[in-house]
Chains A and B, each alone.
Chain A
């Protein structure tokens, strides 16, 4: 019985936004980094603030505070670099967080139809019920086109 329960546990990273905590599957987390300079340039995508440069890699910064807690994240402690799946490729997205992050193992309850699209499930931790976030619904990206043939990586490098 104990073995079966342990097999259902999954690893999650708890992140703090203001007074609330949310969870992301640990397999979707690449790194937790200190805030660095955001480079801004003109664009029309809401929720994307700009980009950060991390070891030569250009990573978009998505402030999800307005969606999750009703206000933007101003006091940033870290950027959580999460993996966003675009179907044809995976890319990193930086999510500003306001406090320490914690790695836990927990059992997840799948989301119901009444939950927001960005909620993929729920978990319980230290008496707190926490939303497990679906990065693909939470952060912007092109509309999914499931029948499309895979698009090659657009990265245009000049070797």
Chain B
């Protein structure tokens, strides 16, 4: 039976993704998940060091508007050889900013395959799935997979304690009007 007049084959739906590198390993992330891409240098003024016990992958917090984003070192998170990182992805609808080595390219994927069930550990939360692009398989990271709710609570507590300490130090540093008179 001939196709109905005017009917056009539906183009496959695609999702825009950013291919990025961490320690030479290629990953993908949905570009819709990335609120902002900044160089490490450009964030120097709005970031602060942060130390949370037992959470080696987060060393900085960056303030964007009213929200504090915890900078996750991608290499440490994935257990890859440490790299300094040059770019930060501020991830939408999360408290995570991801430190990466660089962007490879922006492209589109037409199919995301669920992570095979043989992978049955932390990687199931790290990745939304796998995609095949140009005969290469690339893991597509999940923006929610970098920090667990417990880790965010821990980081918030460390950040609050650090801010309180800084506030006390600032008050102590102010010259008292009573003592100066």
B137 contacts partner chain A, Cβ-Cβ < 8 Å: yes
Interface of B, helix, strand, loop or mixed by DSSP: mixed
Q: Is the CB of A140 within 8 A of B109?
A: no
B113 contacts partner chain A, Cβ-Cβ < 8 Å: yes
Q: Is the CB of A158 within 8 A of B12?
A: yes
Chain A neighbourhood of B25, CB < 8 A: 41-42
Knowing that A43-B126, A155-B114 touch, tell me 4 more A-B residue pairs with CB under 8 angstroms. Answer: A39-B137, A41-B137, A41-B138, A158-B13
CA distance A48 to B122 in the complex (A): 13
8 A-B pairs with least C-beta separation: A44-B121, A42-B78, A39-B137, A43-B123, A154-B114, A60-B118, A60-B116, A158-B13
The distance from the CB of B136 to the nearest CB of chain A, in whole angstroms, is 7
Q: Is the CB of A43 within 8 A of B119?
A: yes
B111 contacts partner chain A, Cβ-Cβ < 8 Å: yes
Q: Mark A47-67, 1 if CB is under 8 A from B, else 0.
A: 010010100111110100000
A residues near B (Cβ < 8 Å) are 39, 41-45, 48, 51, 53, 56-60, 62, 84, 86, 89, 91, 93, 139-142, 153-159
> Residue among A56, A57, A139, A158 with the most chain B CB within 10 A?
A158
CA distance A51 to B131 in the complex (A): 11
B112 contacts partner chain A, Cβ-Cβ < 8 Å: yes
> Residue among B78, B116, B119 with the most chain A CB within 10 A?
B116
- Can you list 6 contacts pairing A with B, beta carbon distance less than 8 Å? A42-B126, A44-B122, A45-B118, A140-B118, A154-B114, A156-B129
> Residue among B12, B111, B118, B128 with the most chain A CB within 10 A?
B118
Which residues of B102-152 have CB atoms within 8 Å of chain A's CB atoms? 109-114, 116-123, 126, 128-130, 132, 135-139
> Residue among B27, B117, B121, B139 with the most chain A CB within 10 A?
B117
Given contacts A39-B137, A44-B123, A158-B14, contact A58 B132 (CB under 8 A): yes
